A and B are shown apart, each in its own frame.
Chain A
């Protein structure tokens, strides 16, 4: 078997193997690229309610007063905290209430991970650390191999030395031209 056949086998099978990883990084790449415009991992909903103002002063008495007003039970709470004398925060699973006690204004915030996108972004940003660091290193090295072997898949008119050289050249020109433009703008 000549070298080109091995080249093509590596390019083909590595390509199949990396379909999922490529989709993880490319889909998440688009999502996190626009982090200034949206939160790519979470959907956040805010609502403002009004309840009767609370005159109680201790945390226990405040909770006893506000929980029924919000149709909540003590068991629903994950935690509660008073960041300042006029506010109490109630934390539930994926939901939080910030209550301004003198006015009774309640800000309800619900945060839910975006299905699929959350998981993809966590992997892309290497949140798990540990072994995922080495898996993503393997992916990056494999992409280098795919890029190099890809140039030698075909020979003749559609191979690297004819058609391919123009496309490879154009692909190099895009980042180089942009960087030159970026430095001078």
Chain B
């Protein structure tokens, strides 16, 4: 019994040493110069396909698989999605509200009405929020970053 207790204490200590204020996800950050999210949103075509390093508060996290985070822009009323491949990076829910420095490639995609409705239904199912398909009025251009690596602090 004493051996089991010792093993449990050892495991707890190991877990405690693994906790840190700053957490890295995915690949190492390679860029040094940050790009403002507001600049990308203002000139999406200029940045389409380009690698960028952005910083912002994490305003939302994918609740099911941690496969995306939403970053607040340097300007109010603007956000940008940082989407990672399912399973490659898993953002835990507790990063919500922290600040992320994130690197990836800008993607500008125009989404059809049908795809928006599909995504809206999926998002509503994930978040438990209501979604009205009638709220989709036409094709929508989505600007997001295909995420590769991030530091959350």
Contacts and interface: CB of A to CB of B under 8 A. Distances in A.
Interface stretch (B40-48, B72-80, B105-113, B131-139): B72-80
Contacts of A46: 128
A92 B93 CA distance: 13
B87 A126 contact: yes
B92 interface: yes
A91 B87 contact: no
Interface of B: 15, 57-59, 63-66, 72, 76-77, 79, 87, 90, 92-94, 96-99, 128
Nearest to A87: B77
B77 A113 contact: no
B96 A83 contact: no
A59 B59 CA distance: 16
A82 B90 contact: no
A102 interface: no
Interface in A43-94: 44, 46, 59, 78-85, 89, 91-94
A41 interface: yes
B93 A111 contact: yes
B72 A111 contact: no
A79 B99 contact: yes
Given A82-B77, A91-B59, 4 more contacts: A46-B128, A78-B97, A81-B72, A127-B66
A42 interface: yes
A180 B63 CA distance: 34
Contact of B63 (A39, A80, A96, A126): A39
Given A94-B94, A111-B94, A89 B87 contact: no
Interface in A93-131: 93-94, 96, 111, 113, 119, 122, 125-127
Interface residues of A, number: 28
A79 B57 contact: yes
B77 A127 contact: no
A96 B59 CA distance: 9
B64 A39 contact: yes
A89 to B, nearest CB: 6
Nearest to A59: B76
Contacts of A89: 59
B96 A111 contact: yes
Contacts, number: 59
Contacts of B57: 79-81, 91
Contact of A125 (B15, B90, B98, B128): B90
A119 B51 CA distance: 33
A35 interface: yes
Contact of A79 (B76, B79, B90, B97): B97
Contacts of B96: 91, 96, 111
Looking at B66, B72, B93, the one whose CB has the most chain A CB atoms below 10 A away is: B93
A6 B90 CA distance: 41
Nearest to A58: B76
A41 B93 contact: yes
Contact of B93 (A35, A42, A82, A93): A42
Nearest to B90: A127
Given A81-B59, A125-B87, A92 B97 contact: yes
A85 to B, nearest CB: 6
